[in-house]
Chain A
Amino acid sequence: MGRLWMNTVPQRWHIDMLMITCPWCGPRDESEFTYGGEANIERPTDPEALDDAAWADYLFMRSNPKGWHEEQWCHAHGCRRWFKAERHTVSYAIRRTWPMDEESS
């Protein structure tokens, strides 16, 4: 065997398929993150002014596209910051990640 620089790599017990770039920490394995659903769903400022249908729209309706999807992720086992990502729901490619407070595109 060649010299095993791998022996110095710390062991972790979980790994996965996606590689997600946390805007603060850089690229990390998916196992460090939790998924937080579709992004840009704003909570109504005055819920009581809404009728049931409008409230249900906010509560339950999701765009669920087959394609690019702006969504929220949290680097739960890292910096614990939430951020947005644009991920393709078929190829699972991640085109971009950015902090919550930045504009989408």
Chain B
Amino acid sequence: MTCRLNQGGVIDRSKPLNFTFNGKPLTGYAGDTLASALLANNIHFVTRSIKLRRPRGIMGRGPEEPNALLQIGEGPSTLADQRATQVMLTEGMNARSINGWPSLEHDLLSALSLGSKLMPVGFYYKTFMGPKGWWERYEKLIRPIAGMGLTPDGPDPDLYEKRDLHCDVMIVGGGPAGLAAAASLIGTGLRVVLAHEQALWGGGLLASRTQLNGQPANAWLEETLAALHAAENIQLLPSTSVFGHYDHHFLGAIERVREQRPNAPIRERFWKIRCQRLILAAGAIERPIVLPNNDRPGIMTAFAVRESIERYAVLPGKQAVVFTNNDSAYATARCLLDAGAQVTVVDSRASAGTAAKAMLPEQTTVIYNAKVCDTTGKKRISGVTVRQTDGTFTRMDCDLLALSGGWNPSVHLHSHASGKLQWDEALATFVPQNDLAGVRAIGAMAGAFDFATALTQGSEVAREFATELGSKAGTDLSLPEVSHAEPGPSQLQPLWRVAGKGPAFVDMQNDVKATDIELALREGYRSIEHVKRYGILGFGTDQGKFGNIIGLGIVGELINKHPTEIGTTTYRPAWTPVTFGALVGPDTGELFEPIRQTPMHEWHVQAGAVFEDVGQWKRARYYPKAGEDMDAAVARECLATQKGVGVLDYSTLGKIEIHGPDAITLLERVYTNNWQKLGIGRCRYGLMLDENGMVMDDGVTARLGEQHYLMYTSTGGAARVLSWMEQWLQTEWPDLEVYLTSVTDAWGTISLAGPKSRELLESIGTDINLSTEQFPFMSLRTGAVNGVPARVQRVSFSGEMSFEVSVPANEAAELWAMVMRKGEAFGATPYGTEAMHVLRAEKGFIIVGQDTDGSISPLDLGMEGMISARKDCLGKRSLMRSELQRPDRPQWVGLRPKDPTKVLPEGAQLIEDPAAKPPVAMQGWVTSSYFAPRLGHAFALGFVNGGRARHGESLYAWDADAGVIPVEITQPVQYDPEGGRQRD
């Protein structure tokens, strides 16, 4: 049976659309929402409630809809919790209800509704407490019943986009107020953006018979939109929900691109809007009246009924009861009559306003001083009971109950930004105080329900803002003359709920009943926030757009307080739910964070390197040959380096150039050691502390000229060190004349390490004299390598003689290839970070971030020799505190497993008694651990409490997986403690 009227509506009857609901094929038209298309097919019953499994129907007409939350589509593109009143129908749409097993019609869990008395609010808090540890078992039964939609089963096939938008005036809401405001700004030269939540412009006008300039409103709408489209300075964003209003006039909005262009490549676009002035014309939402059994399918708000008829040409019932406490529902009664329905109006007041009365033919049954106090029906309402003040009860049949308890302005966007609300006695609801600078709420959102006022407000605020922004006068919008207007919610008499037997639902989605509010109050949950939280009132996906104000009203009645004494409700973003994918846009996958690659990256890939992530860098970890595992590859790389020459891509090391007359002073302040006597062309190792005295970074700094230094930092620490020094310079030491430049990416660095490194470098060709006499350890030379300008440093992180050759980044790949070609004669072997770690660990060199963790001081590392007594430096004072002087602090040691083949797990803890039961006192931990191929045994580095005095002692390394491994404490340096090899 179709409920579609033969004429009228703003649907496109030339474009029928096929869709299915719970597998049943149905049709609608372009311009329908899923809800209107369902109603056109006489489907009200669309879901069952979560807790009590009661049949529920479509009740609202927009974001307030609490019931009609459907699953749309299948597989990876399925959409959960879709509000049918906001989903535009598309060809082939496949919608289904989630709650209902085995089907919506026949649901075995509907037996739960019988137990509703046993499950009042707070039910879970009072039950399922024992036996201890059983809650998880109960949860297994409860969780599947709760929840609503289904998660997609694969990655999102759609694309999203983020866009910034800066404008002078932002207008939210494309109803009459917003449109008038926008039209008034045409030609002002101001950048104006008008966003509207729906696909069609017009808001309340689309469901109204109001005439503008003596014609149906449609004519004015078309004319206005044409002018706005043509205007250079106006940008229109239809199908765009502004979901949040944040500090400093920032708004977030989601454009559902495919509502306007079904084949668009982008599904949704996230607009990040910054405006100078904000006009909020977000409208209002009609609230129902709470009454016993008010949740049956076929019960709707009066405006939803009116919009259904006027906009979608769908008559949602043939025998209607309209129950109201204000004048606005009379227009609904008139629509119903004109569409051929039988109508009875039940009005809780003694009389209606004149305009309301004038809406209806005289013979219409209007029962004043009456309330609907119950309903009947199972999967559709079949009748109501009306109670009059004189005590008479009348039972009448109906298939539709239209409710109007007044209107709630959609104050959310005002409220998000901490705008204050005030109680409007006439409307019995909150309206914005309009206390936010540069922000104005107008129209129904500000409590102005007649179109004439809305249009005037729009025009006035637009002109006011334009003047404030110094624009030339815009179009002097001649406001249309309004006639045949429907009455607004005037002469309202607050009526929050009708008492009676039967569950009266305040928040449909969570099955919160009026009696639950009573119970919450009885149990001492007195604050409105407690009532809401205890009663889960307003926590559904509609976020209480129906229920919150009614709940406040009911609480007020129960404790005999005015709603404002109880407190307002805080509205948190989002206004309507926002797709995660849209907020993320393209910032995922490769764009989640930048990937940094060295100039030689491609060579490493070709060589089959295995990479590791170090900060944002991809570093070659090792280069396995066929049949090699990591251990074998690393052993080969280590030995090749120690016996011949190894080649390491060292480009990732942070490089900061320091210029200026006060460069030394800066170094003296940020490093613990002395820098006064470093000659030009010489290098020195430095240790950097934070002000708390903990090691923050380390590295070698070279003096390039009189006032010119090159500081190396750790790979991961480069950005931190640079910004940290900048902060000190700019905020604390502005008197220092020194300039910092990051040159990390400007250079590619190739480290040649091993006894044959000099020969290899010579064979490549350089004008630098590489002899130790001319080019001693810890010095830097500039010159040409293979004809390319280069900086060559004789430093060593491997313990071997090494030359670190830096060339401009674009030359580095070629030089690397050259090194590898020439290196064949010397057995040159590329080595990765893993071999680098082994080589440095043999020498007891730390890696900041691996061996230190932000809680290690230079004293703990045995580096007190690095701390100059002559001067202050950052962090030095902190080292003097008692805790840092404690002799039993963790101290840097070497560790030798007693079984030389056992490599300790990194992260193993060190204990004294392997048989002890928890809690076991820990003596230290392992930070770095390897097998040293040259030495033929495993070794490790780590920390042991008071460890420097305990060399030779035995401990046990303890690991959850590897078990207990006996170790001996040694000095940290395993090989060549005198450092002869690196000095040569």
A and B touch in the complex (CB under 8 A): yes
- Assuming the contacts A47-B876, A48-B872, asked whether A9 and B726 have C-beta atoms less than 8 A apart, the reply is no
Residues of A contacting B191 with CB < 8 Å?
A: 5
Could you tell me which residues of chain A, from 1 to 59, have a CB within 8 Å of some CB in chain B? 1-6, 9, 11-13, 15-19, 29, 34, 36, 39, 42-43, 46-48, 50, 52, 55, 59
A17 touches B246 (CB 8 A): yes
Residues of A contacting B96 with CB < 8 Å?
A: none
Contact of B731 among A4, A5, A52, A82 (CB under 8 A): A82
In the assembled complex, 21 residue pairs joining A and B whose CB atoms fall closer than 8 Å, in A order, are A2-B228, A2-B229, A2-B230, A2-B235, A5-B191, A11-B162, A12-B164, A13-B585, A13-B586, A15-B274, A16-B250, A36-B731, A55-B877, A59-B878, A72-B727, A82-B726, A82-B731, A91-B247, A91-B418, A92-B247, A101-B734
Contact of A82 among B250, B585, B727 (CB under 8 A): B727
Residues of A contacting B732 with CB < 8 Å?
A: 42-43
- B318 in the interface (beta carbon within 8 A): no
Q: Residues 140-170 of chain B: 1 if any A CB is under 8 Å from the residue's CB, otherwise 0?
A: 0000000000000000000000111110000
CA distance A101 to B734 in the complex (A): 8
Please give me the residue from chain B that is nearest to A48 by CB atom. B877
- Assuming the contacts A59-B691, A59-B878, asked whether A100 and B730 have C-beta atoms less than 8 A apart, the reply is yes
Known A1-B235, A17-B248, A80-B726; further 8 A-B contacts with Cβ < 8 A: A2-B232, A4-B235, A9-B165, A18-B247, A48-B877, A74-B730, A92-B248, A100-B730
- A81 in the interface (beta carbon within 8 A): yes
B236 touches A19 (CB 8 A): no
CA distance A19 to B251 in the complex (A): 12
CA distance A34 to B719 in the complex (A): 13
Least Cβ distance of A58 to chain B in Å?
8
Please give me the residue from chain A that is nearest to B163 by CB atom. A11
CA distance A102 to B587 in the complex (A): 39
Least Cβ distance of A15 to chain B in Å?
4
B723 touches A76 (CB 8 A): yes
- Assuming the contacts A4-B235, A82-B731, asked whether A48 and B250 have C-beta atoms less than 8 A apart, the reply is no
Residues of B contacting A11 with CB < 8 Å?
A: 162-164
Please give me the residue from chain A that is nearest to B245 by CB atom. A17
Least Cβ distance of B199 to chain A in Å?
13
A74 touches B727 (CB 8 A): yes
- B881 in the interface (beta carbon within 8 A): yes
B878 touches A55 (CB 8 A): yes
CA distance A18 to B730 in the complex (A): 23
CA distance A93 to B247 in the complex (A): 8
Least Cβ distance of A27 to chain B in Å?
9
Q: Residues 229-256 of chain B: 1 if any A CB is under 8 Å from the residue's CB, otherwise 0?
A: 1111111100000000011111000000
- B1 in the interface (beta carbon within 8 A): no
B248 touches A19 (CB 8 A): yes
Residues of A contacting B246 with CB < 8 Å?
A: 17
- B880 in the interface (beta carbon within 8 A): yes
Q: Residues 82-96 of chain A: 1 if any B CB is under 8 Å from the residue's CB, otherwise 0?
A: 100000000111100
Minimum-distance CB pairs A-B, first 6: A47-B877, A15-B272, A82-B730, A17-B246, A19-B248, A17-B247
- B692 in the interface (beta carbon within 8 A): yes
Residues of B contacting A74 with CB < 8 Å?
A: 723, 726-727, 730
- Assuming the contacts A2-B228, A36-B731, A72-B731, asked whether A59 and B692 have C-beta atoms less than 8 A apart, the reply is yes
Residues of A contacting B163 with CB < 8 Å?
A: 6, 9, 11
Q: Which one of B164, B232, B586, B872 has the highest number of Cβ atoms from chain A below 10 Å of its Cβ?
A: B164
A1 touches B877 (CB 8 A): no
- Assuming the contacts A9-B166, A48-B880, asked whether A2 and B731 have C-beta atoms less than 8 A apart, the reply is no
Q: Residues 907-929 of chain B: 1 if any A CB is under 8 Å from the residue's CB, otherwise 0?
A: 00000000000000000000000
Which secondary structure dominates chain B's binding surface? mixed
Residues of B contacting A80 with CB < 8 Å?
A: 726
Could you tell me which residues of chain B, from 111 to 129, have a CB within 8 Å of some CB in chain A? none
Q: Residues 582-604 of chain B: 1 if any A CB is under 8 Å from the residue's CB, otherwise 0?
A: 00011100010000000000000
Least Cβ distance of B728 to chain A in Å?
9
Residues of A contacting B228 with CB < 8 Å?
A: 2
Please give me the residue from chain A that is nearest to B231 by CB atom. A2
Q: Residues 860-879 of chain B: 1 if any A CB is under 8 Å from the residue's CB, otherwise 0?
A: 00000000000010001110
Least Cβ distance of A7 to chain B in Å?
10
CA distance A81 to B880 in the complex (A): 33
B730 touches A50 (CB 8 A): no
Please give me the residue from chain A that is nearest to B270 by CB atom. A15
Least Cβ distance of B231 to chain A in Å?
6
Could you tell me which residues of chain B, from 677 to 697, have a CB within 8 Å of some CB in chain A? 691-692
Residues of B contacting A36 with CB < 8 Å?
A: 727, 731
Residues of B contacting A55 with CB < 8 Å?
A: 877-878, 881
Residues of B contacting A92 with CB < 8 Å?
A: 247-248
A34 touches B731 (CB 8 A): no
Could you tell me which residues of chain B, from 191 to 237, have a CB within 8 Å of some CB in chain A? 191, 228-236
B235 touches A5 (CB 8 A): yes
B231 touches A34 (CB 8 A): no
Please give me the residue from chain A that is nearest to B244 by CB atom. A17
Residues of A contacting B248 with CB < 8 Å?
A: 17-19, 92, 94
B731 touches A50 (CB 8 A): no
Least Cβ distance of A48 to chain B in Å?
6
CA distance A2 to B231 in the complex (A): 7
Least Cβ distance of B593 to chain A in Å?
12
Please give me the residue from chain B that is nearest to A80 by CB atom. B726
CA distance A76 to B877 in the complex (A): 29
Please give me the residue from chain B that is nearest to A3 by CB atom. B232
CA distance A101 to B879 in the complex (A): 31
Please give me the residue from chain B that is nearest to A19 by CB atom. B248
Q: Which one of A17, A19, A52, A94 has the highest number of Cβ atoms from chain B below 10 Å of its Cβ?
A: A17
Please give me the residue from chain A that is nearest to B271 by CB atom. A6
Residues of B contacting A1 with CB < 8 Å?
A: 229, 235-236
Least Cβ distance of A95 to chain B in Å?
13
Residues of B contacting A3 with CB < 8 Å?
A: 232
CA distance A9 to B271 in the complex (A): 13
Residues of A contacting B230 with CB < 8 Å?
A: 2
CA distance A57 to B730 in the complex (A): 22
Residues of A contacting B585 with CB < 8 Å?
A: 13
CA distance A18 to B972 in the complex (A): 50
A29 touches B274 (CB 8 A): yes
Q: Which one of B591, B723, B730, B881 has the highest number of Cβ atoms from chain A below 10 Å of its Cβ?
A: B730
A19 touches B250 (CB 8 A): yes
Least Cβ distance of B189 to chain A in Å?
12
B250 touches A15 (CB 8 A): yes
Please give me the residue from chain B that is nearest to A43 by CB atom. B732
B235 touches A52 (CB 8 A): no
Please give me the residue from chain A that is nearest to B732 by CB atom. A43
Least Cβ distance of A59 to chain B in Å?
6
Q: Residues 267-278 of chain B: 1 if any A CB is under 8 Å from the residue's CB, otherwise 0?
A: 000001010000
Please give me the residue from chain B that is nearest to A47 by CB atom. B877
Residues of B contacting A39 with CB < 8 Å?
A: 731
Please give me the residue from chain A that is nearest to B167 by CB atom. A6
Residues of B contacting A42 with CB < 8 Å?
A: 732
B878 touches A13 (CB 8 A): no
Residues of B contacting A81 with CB < 8 Å?
A: 730
A6 touches B236 (CB 8 A): no
Least Cβ distance of A62 to chain B in Å?
13
CA distance A45 to B97 in the complex (A): 71
Least Cβ distance of B581 to chain A in Å?
15
CA distance A82 to B723 in the complex (A): 10
Least Cβ distance of B384 to chain A in Å?
47
Least Cβ distance of A104 to chain B in Å?
13
Least Cβ distance of B885 to chain A in Å?
11
Q: Residues 51-80 of chain A: 1 if any B CB is under 8 Å from the residue's CB, otherwise 0?
A: 010010001000000000000101010001
Could you tell me which residues of chain B, from 840 to 854, have a CB within 8 Å of some CB in chain A? none
Least Cβ distance of A78 to chain B in Å?
13
A100 touches B691 (CB 8 A): no
A17 touches B250 (CB 8 A): yes
